Each structure stands twice: as C-alpha cells, then as structure tokens.
Amino acid sequence: MSIRAESIPPSHLHTMSPPSSVPKEYRPDYLPPNVTGQMQENLPGKQRPLDPAPFNDTLADGSKYKPAGKLEGKNTVITGGDSGIGRATAILLSVPLECRWLRSELTSLSAREGANVFIHYHPSEDQDAKDTVKQIQEHDPKVKVEAAAADLRTEQACLELAEKIKKWSNGRLDVLVNNAATQNEVENIEQLESEQWRHVFDVNIHAIFYLTKSLIPIIPWGGSIINNASINPFVGHPKLLDYSSTKGAIVGFSRALSNQIVKERGIRVNCVCPGPVWTPLVIATMGEESLSAFGPTTPIGRAGQPIEVATAFVFLASPDSSYFTAQCFHVNGGSAY
C-alpha cells in the first residue's frame, strides 16, 4: 500500500499572498504614507505625531499579543520606555493577566505579562511618557507603574535615576532593560563633530555602565539584564559611525559582563540587535534617502514594528530564557551576520 501526498502546484505557490487579515504594515515593501513628510527635527523624536502609529501589541497575523503572566509581580526598568521599542516592551511586560481586554472589547490593547514597570524617558519626551503610562493603566489602575525623566549624558544624572529606581523597587530589581539611545546621520568622518561623538557615547554606552553598576547590587539570582544593541555594528552603517561604534561596545559589554557575573550571581546578560524598525528616533534622525529605502532591502521585504522586537525582550526577561546568556538576538528581518 502506498501513500501519496498531495502537492501544491508550483503556479499556485508563486501567486500566494498574505491573508487579508494581515495588516498592511506587515506586508512586503510597506512604507508609511508620506514618510519623508513626517520627518522631525528634534531628537530623540516623538511618537504621538507618527501616522500610522507604530504597533505596540498587534501581531503580524492581525491578532493581539496573548500574555502568559510570565513576569507576574516582577520589578522591571526600561530606559527610553516612552516610545518606540521601549514603549512596546513596557506595554508587553506590564499589567496582570486578568485585565479588562479579556472581558470586553472596550480597549484596543491586550493583556500583558504582569510585571511592575519603571519607565525612564528624556525630559523632552514628557507627553510620550504620559501616553505610555496611560495605556498601561487603562488595563488596571492599580498596576505599579512610574515614569521619571533624566538626561543620561552625565554620570550624576544616571546615579540620581538609579536612586529613584531603588526607592521605587523597594530594593529588588528583577529585570533591567537598557534601551535609551541616540543617533544622527553624518556623511563622513570629517563632518562628524567631536561634541556629537562624545554625546552619542555618553548616552548609548556610558549610561549603561553607570546604571548597571549602580543597580546590579539589587538584582537577585535569576535576574536579567537586557541591552538594546543594533544590527549596525555588524554591517557598519556608513552614516552612523558613532552610533555603530557604541552599539558594538554594547555587544562586548554584555558578553563580558555575563561571563563576569552569571556563575557567581546568577544574573543573565543578553542583548537584542534590532534591524530597521519604525520608531520616532528613525523619523527624527534619518534623511529622505535613508527613509525611502528603510526596510524593503531586508530579506523579509519591510521594516519591523516595535512589538516584533519587544517580544524578544519579554522572552529574555522571563524564566523561559534561563539558559540564554551572553547572546545577541538578531531581530532584523532575515539579515544574517
């Protein structure tokens, strides 16, 4: 007796297209309408004006993110948590499993993983921070969430922020997400001012060192430190020399710190390396040429949405990733390095 498998005709394979339920933002070659017309002049960029708004909780099949309560009661901190990848991560991490979305369709946001969340934001991003906190509290007014502004360019500002975090967390921090960053395109090294070079290093890598050093004494065994790196140190973005350099430093810092502390302290350290993702920082820092080609050159054919990176942070924050440390998670639409 023989068993024959039905095959799909090759002609049909070549005509397959995404189901109608897939949002246009997840289809190949997607670019936001009037993307260059949405360019912003001031760093680090604001999320509220973006149209359409980046996805914080809608998945590629059009469904809402479904939580599992993996971080119930855990204290988490996210720098740069007011917008972009930081906002999406804060939303997915927070709010109890039993929230309003599971009982009605009154809100467009879904339930999350149940963590308490402390959000850091740049002083110029006050409205975005308020919007993020509001979205989190819509599910449960009793959720423990706080936002604090700080300019991370100085060690003193980082230490003051760390003291606020220690007070908020009652001396126990389970997850630290170092996400805050800045960038600005410059054509060549001759045009790159020393002031910008120092500024980018202060925000992108020095602040991670200061905050991590100050907060690591209150991270218990089983805790997780997750640093937002980038695809750029692996590809060497020609217009982001300073930014790419700092992100490469983050990779080295993460691996070395993990090897230093994981055995003795039980704290895992990993980094996430996003590819092109639609965030306010991109709109505020890239020129028309870069924006018009942002995403379609990836194997998947489009730029990512913040939630597609935030899910990696949730995994690395949770006990599911207990055997993952000193790793770089490449969330970049298929580019291999």
Length of the chain: 337
Closest CA to 53 of 280, 205, 224, 298: 280
Beta bridge partners of 22: none
Q: What's the distance, CA 26 to chain centroid?
A: 18
Beta bridge partners of 121: 149
Respond yes or no: is residue 26 known to be catalytic. Answer: no
Beta bridge partners of 78: 119, 177
Q: What is the DSSP string of 56-103?
A: SSB-TTSPBP----TTTT-EEEETTTTSHHHHHHHHHHBS-SS-GGGT
Taking residue 107's Cβ as centre, other Cβ atoms within 10 Å add up to 12
Of 26, 65, 121, 243, the active-site residue reads 243
Contact between 254 and 269 (Cβ < 8 Å): yes
- 3-state SS of 190-240? HHCCHHHHHHHHHHHHHHHHHHHHHHHHHCCCCCEEEEECCCHHHHCCCCC
Active-site residues, by number, are: 243
